[in-house]
Structure 1
Amino acid sequence: MNTTSFKTYSAKPGDVEQAWHVVDAENVVVGRLAARVATILRGKDKPEYTPHMDVGDYVVVVNADKVRFTGKKETDKKYFRHSGYPGGIRERTPKEVRATHPERIIEAAVKGMLPRTKLGRQLYKKLHVYAGPDHPHEAQQPQTLTID
């Protein structure tokens, strides 16, 4: 009987190289953008992906105010939050959120696709979203990514 054993690779903290990526969100559907960004933040697009380690890259999203929804989600979708007091639930549509804080649309979508653990909170900190085309991360020499 041939008992060839293969070793499962597990990334070590010293092995991880984290790059920076810039994504232009102009005319990109929110869910497709968030799914791609969450994959990059987790590192699932890398061969050295390890579920319990932060092997993902940093992501900078620009033009968040020009992101697109399909169908009637712009007016029908609701974002909820609660103050913790009885009757303290608040709801807003994407149209209302876009008027004041457009970056929160993408942040909420990506956060919903990350794990609800300590690692997920750590990964979320590597996401940087800006409403306009400018960002302060030029020193990191980010690579441009296109989302289809």
Structure 2
Amino acid sequence: MRQTTFTKPAEVTRQWYVVDGAGKNLGRLATEVAAVLHGKHKPSFTPNVDCGDYVIVINADQIVLSGNKMEDKMYYNHSQWRGGLRTRSARVMKDQYTIEWVERAIHGMLPHTRLGDVQRGHLFVYKGAEHPHAAQKPVVLEIKG
């Protein structure tokens, strides 16, 4: 007889990963990082438990988009007031709001629930190659593509 095992919150062991975004495609990087934050890379994955790991993304200013997406892709925000639509191109987001640009791509791939809010807090994005999390001894996570 087979038995399904469910991970309990006290049984979760967390790891720290560091991802170098230099020359990586934004979408491919975001899907891999979101899977690690959600915990889907572990055999003990349980959907209703936060079993994901911590991820540090460095060199966010060197992440790229393919094709004409730098000019064609738009990011929208609305203030909920009449005429309050703000539109920014991907180039503006990358040049002026680099950290928000990467976080928006990754956050959109996580659950939009209270569990997803906790998992979003496990992501740290930095423009340069330096990060203040050396004490956690992060392991390098290789992203394909």
Equivalent residue number for residue 120 of structure 1 = 116
Matches within 5 A, 1:30-69: 30-69=26-65
Q: Taking every aligned residue pair, what percent have the same amino acid on both sides?
A: 43
Counterpart Cα distance in 2 of 1:134 and 1:128: 12
Which runs of 5 or more residues in structure 1 are unaligned? none
1:147 equivalent in alignment to 2:123 = no
Q: Which of 79, 84, 87 lines up with 1:88 in the alignment?
A: 84
Which letter does structure 2 place at the counterpart of 1:48? S
Equivalent residue number for residue 20 of structure 1 = 16
Equivalent residue number for residue 98 of structure 1 = 94
Counterpart Cα distance in 2 of 1:71 and 1:80: 20
Counterpart Cα distance in 1 of 2:99 and 2:61: 7
Cα deviation, 1:59-91, whole Å, max 9, x if unaligned, reads 000000000101100111001001110110101
Equivalent residue number for residue 74 of structure 2 = 78
Q: Considering only aligned residues, what root-mean-square deviation do their CA atoms show, in Å?
A: 0.7
Shift, 1:10, TM fit: 0.4
Counterpart Cα distance in 2 of 1:13 and 1:52: 10
Which letter does structure 2 place at the counterpart of 1:131? K
Counterpart Cα distance in 2 of 1:52 and 1:124: 15
Counterpart Cα distance in 1 of 2:76 and 2:118: 23
Shift, 1:14, TM fit: 1.6
Equivalent residue number for residue 134 of structure 2 = 138
Shift, 1:106, TM fit: 1.2
Counterpart Cα distance in 1 of 2:119 and 2:110: 8
Instruction: Kindly name which structure, 1 or 2, has the bigger radius of gyration based on alpha carbons.
Output: 1
Shift, 1:35, TM fit: 0.2
Equivalent residue number for residue 9 of structure 1 = 5
Which runs of 5 or more residues in structure 2 are unaligned? none
Counterpart Cα distance in 1 of 2:34 and 2:95: 25
Counterpart Cα distance in 1 of 2:11 and 2:48: 14
Which letter does structure 2 place at the counterpart of 1:89? L
Task: Please report the TM-score for the alignment, with normalisation by the length of structure 2.
Answer: 0.97
Task: Please report the TM-score for the alignment, with normalisation by the length of structure 1.
Answer: 0.95
Number of residues of Structure 1 aligned to a counterpart in Structure 2: 144
